[in-house]
Amino acid sequence: MTSRPLPDGVTLSEREGATVLSARTHACALDLSLSGGHVTSWIPNGHDETLWLSPLTTFTPGHHIRGGVPLIGPWFGRGNSGTEEPQHGWFRRAQWKLASVEVTPDGTINVSLDLAEIRNYPGFEVEAARLHVRAGATLELSLDVTAGGTPLDLEAAFHTYFLVSDVRETTVGGLENVPYTDAARSRTAGLGPSVLRFCAPTDLVFEAAPPLVLSDPGAARRIVIDQYHASRTVVWTPWQSDVAATADIPDSEWTRFVCVETAVSEGGTVHLAPGTTHTLTARYTLEHS
C-alpha cells in the first residue's frame, strides 16, 4: 500500500517477523497476518471469538499458521497428481501485501491483500491472487486467482478453523444427501446425513458447497456459512486419536475446533484459461441460539 495513513482503529504490528494488521471498530475486531494472507481472529460485536488459533502456532514468514483461515491453493492436499509438495499448496506460506484498507461509517473493515510472492511450480502458473476481507457483523472472504500464460487447473480453499466449545457437541446442517468421499476411511463413498455429528476422526469431502449451519450448543450460537463459486465442502477434525500427528496442535485442543472448508478441490477443480480469474467466496454470520 502507499504510505497513506491507516484508518482510525487500524494498526500494523510485527509478530515473529510477520506483519499483522489489527482493526478495532464498533462492528468487530479483526486480526490478519500478511504472511499467508491469513485471518487469525474475528470477533463481531456482541459475540465471542469465532476462529480457533493454535497456542503453538508460529507466525514466522515461510511457515503456515495453524488455525484461523489458512488460504489453500493453487492445489489442495497433494493436488490431482497426488504428489504435489508442499501439502495444500503455497498460498498459505507466501507473503501478501496490503493493497487497500478502509473502515466504513458502520464499522465494517474492508481489506485487500495481493499475493506478493509468486512461486513457480510446473503446471501451476499463477499470474496474480487477491484476497478481499470484509469484516463487520459478518465476515466475507473472497479469493481471486488469475491464471498465468498456461491453463491452470485451480484448487483452492478457505480452510477455516471454527472455535467451538466441544466438537463432540457440534453439528453441521445443510449436507443432507450430498455425496461425499471419506478421506479418513480409504475414500469410501456416502451421502451426507441431515445433521452431521462428530464421533471419530473426520475428513469428509462433500461434492457441493451449499449454505451450511454450524451449531455450537455449548456456546449457544450458530454460524451460518454461505459459499459461492465453490464445488466442494471439506469437513475435518483430527479427533483425539489423530491430534498428536499434527505437531502444532496441543493434544488437549482437539475438542476446541472443527474445520469447515469452502473449496474448489478434489474432482471439483476449476479449469482456468490463461489470464482468466476465478473468485471463491465464503461468508460467515453468527447467530445467538
Ligand X SMILES: O=P(O)(O)OC[C@H]1O[C@@H](O)[C@H](O)[C@@H](O)[C@@H]1O
Site for ligand X contains 188 (CB under 6 A) = no
Figure out which of the listed residues 90, 124, 158, 236 binds ligand X, where binding follows CB under 6 A.
Answer: 236
Figure out which of the listed residues 38, 159, 222, 256 binds ligand X, where binding follows CB under 6 A.
Answer: 159
- Residue (110 or 246) nearer to ligand X, CB: 246
Contact 18, 37 (CB under 8 A): no
Minimum gap (Å) between residue 9 Cβ and ligand X: 31
Question: To 5 degrees, how large is the angle CA 163–CA 168–CA 171?
Answer: 70
- Residue (146 or 231) nearer to ligand X, CB: 231
- Residue (3 or 186) nearer to ligand X, CB: 186
- Residue (28 or 71) nearer to ligand X, CB: 71
- Residue (127 or 253) nearer to ligand X, CB: 253
Rounded Cα–Cα distance for residues 183 and 205 (Å): 7
Figure out which of the listed residues 43, 128, 183, 243 binds ligand X, where binding follows CB under 6 A.
Answer: 183
- Residue (44 or 68) nearer to ligand X, CB: 68
Q: Which long-range contacts (CB under 8 A, 24 or more apart) does 181-184 make?
A: 181/205, 181/207, 181/266
Minimum gap (Å) between residue 12 Cβ and ligand X: 26
Figure out which of the listed residues 11, 13, 45, 87 binds ligand X, where binding follows CB under 6 A.
Answer: 87
Figure out which of the listed residues 141, 234, 258, 260 binds ligand X, where binding follows CB under 6 A.
Answer: 234
Which residues within the stretch 16-75 sit at the binding site for ligand X (CB under 6 A)? none
Which is it for strands 96-103 and 195-197: parallel, antiparallel or unpaired?
A: unpaired
- Tally Cβ neighbours within 10 Å of residue 48: 11
Figure out which of the listed residues 31, 140, 155, 261 binds ligand X, where binding follows CB under 6 A.
Answer: 261
Please name which of 140, 124, 50 lies closest in space to residue 90, comparing C-alpha atoms: 124
Which residues within the stretch 112-151 sit at the binding site for ligand X (CB under 6 A)? none
Q: How far is the CA of 151 from the CAs of 224, 260, 287, in angstroms?
A: 34, 29, 41
Site for ligand X contains 246 (CB under 6 A) = yes
Please name which of 100, 97, 95 lies closest in space to residue 4, comparing C-alpha atoms: 100
Site for ligand X contains 203 (CB under 6 A) = yes
**Mask for 88-107, x = binds ligand X (CB under 6 A):** x-------------------
Please name which of 5, 180, 177 lies closest in space to residue 102, comparing C-alpha atoms: 5
- Residue (146 or 227) nearer to ligand X, CB: 227
Q: Which long-range contacts (CB under 8 A, 24 or more apart) does 246-253 make?
A: 246/66, 247/56, 248/54, 248/56, 248/57, 248/58, 248/66, 249/54, 249/56, 249/66, 250/54, 250/55, 250/56, 253/52, 253/54, 253/55
Chain positions contacting ligand X, by CB under 6 A: 87-88, 159, 183, 203, 234, 236, 246, 261
